[in-house]
């Protein structure tokens, strides 16, 4: 980017009152981890806002059509009904995933950014402090889904993107772009007083965070006439094109 993006929150437009808006909540996993100091968190915040705002811009979401609130470890973004909700899924998720992967590939553990993002749609209403509405509460609950937090940690993903069942049925299921609807996994969200069905998508796994378990050799049969030192495995994994010649396994 040649110039920094404007990070000042826009004033909540009264014209959105009662209309269905796209509600995007994002949060940095482990933001308050004791292994991070204040300088680390400043870097993480800079990266998070840079990635988020650049992705919105690249997804043709005009700044004038958004309302933003800083949440210290993340942000709330409410998008005007004039902007198609589908654009906040594809290409937005793709832009986020690529930018996070680029940063995390070179970042130390202290400033690595794992981002949880939730998307819901519903009416919002302005008040003296900003915006409120059940749609905002629902998006916040989705972002806190235990299944999303667990999957993000276990898989070491860069991005955990979760959408409400309404968003999945109305938009995700009909995508025909780079993002495959089949990449979303159904989950049940139970947070506080909320129980709801949702769909999550994870991008950017870090294999080094999840080492592959060792493969145990099978015991040799007593009547085996193979040469000493031969080891037969019950299970063989082939990654890429590592085996030359005929790769078809014939059972005898």
Q: Please indicate, yes or no, if residue 22 is contained in any of the structural domains.
A: yes
Which burial class, exposed, middle or buried, applies to 191 when counting CB atoms under 10 A from its CB (0-12, 13-18, 19+)?
middle
5: its two tokens: 């993006």
User: Taking the CA atoms of the chain, what radius of gyration do you get in angstroms?
Assistant: 23
Q: What is the pLDDT of residues 49-90, one digit of tens each?
A: 999 999 999 999 999 999 999 998 999 999 999 999 999 999
Instruction: Give me the number of domains the chain comprises.
Output: 1
Residue 251 reports pLDDT greater than 60: no
- Ranking 125-134, 141-150, 164-173, 214-223 by mean pLDDT, the lowest is 214-223
Distance between CA atoms of residues 121 and 248, nearest Å: 50
Domain with 44, as residue range(s), is 14-207
Q: Please indicate, yes or no, if residue 6 is contained in any of the structural domains.
A: no
Q: Please indicate, yes or no, if residue 81 is contained in any of the structural domains.
A: yes
> Degrees (nearest 5) of the Cα angle 137, 142, 147?
150
Residue among 220, 251, 248, 218 at smallest CA distance from 233: 218
Q: What is the pLDDT of residues 106-123, one digit of tens each?
A: 999 999 999 999 999 999
CA 172 to chain centre: 14
Q: Please indicate, yes or no, if residue 45 is contained in any of the structural domains.
A: yes
| CATH number for position 102 | 3.30.70.1230
Q: Please indicate, yes or no, if residue 214 is contained in any of the structural domains.
A: no
Task: Write down the residue that tokens 């049925």 correspond to.
Answer: 169
Q: Please indicate, yes or no, if residue 218 is contained in any of the structural domains.
A: no
Q: Please indicate, yes or no, if residue 149 is contained in any of the structural domains.
A: yes
Distance between CA atoms of residues 74 and 149, nearest Å: 15
Q: Please indicate, yes or no, if residue 236 is contained in any of the structural domains.
A: no
């Amino acid at each position: 980017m040649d110039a920094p993006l404007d990070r000042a929150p826009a004033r909540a437009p009264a014209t959105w009152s009662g209309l269905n808006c796209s509600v995007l909540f994002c949060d940095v996993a482990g933001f308050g981890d004791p292994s991070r100091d204040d300088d680390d968190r400043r870097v993480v915040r800079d990266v998070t806002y840079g990635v988020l705002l650049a992705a919105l811009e690249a997804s043709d979401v005009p700044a004038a059509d958004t309302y933003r609130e800083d949440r210290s470890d993340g942000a709330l973004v409410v998008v005007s009904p004039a902007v198609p909700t589908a654009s906040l899924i594809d290409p937005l998720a793709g832009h986020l995933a690529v930018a996070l992967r680029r940063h995390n590939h070179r970042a130390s553990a202290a400033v690595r950014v794992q981002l949880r993002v939730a998307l819901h749609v519903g009416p919002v209403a302005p008040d003296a402090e900003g915006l409120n509405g059940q749609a905002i509460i629902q998006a916040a609950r989705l972002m806190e889904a235990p299944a999303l937090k667990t999957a993000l940690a276990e898989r070491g993903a860069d991005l955990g993107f979760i959408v409400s069942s309404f968003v999945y049925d109305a938009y995700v299921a009909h995508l025909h772009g780079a993002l495959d609807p089949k990449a979303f996994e159904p989950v049940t969200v139970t947070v506080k007083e909320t129980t709801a069905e949702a769909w999550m998508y994870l991008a950017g796994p870090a294999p080094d965070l999840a080492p592959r378990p060792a493969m145990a050799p099978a015991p040799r049969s007593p009547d085996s006439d193979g040469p000493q030192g031969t080891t037969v495995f019950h299970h063989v994994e082939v990654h890429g094109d590592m085996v030359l010649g005929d790769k078809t396994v014939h059972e005898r």
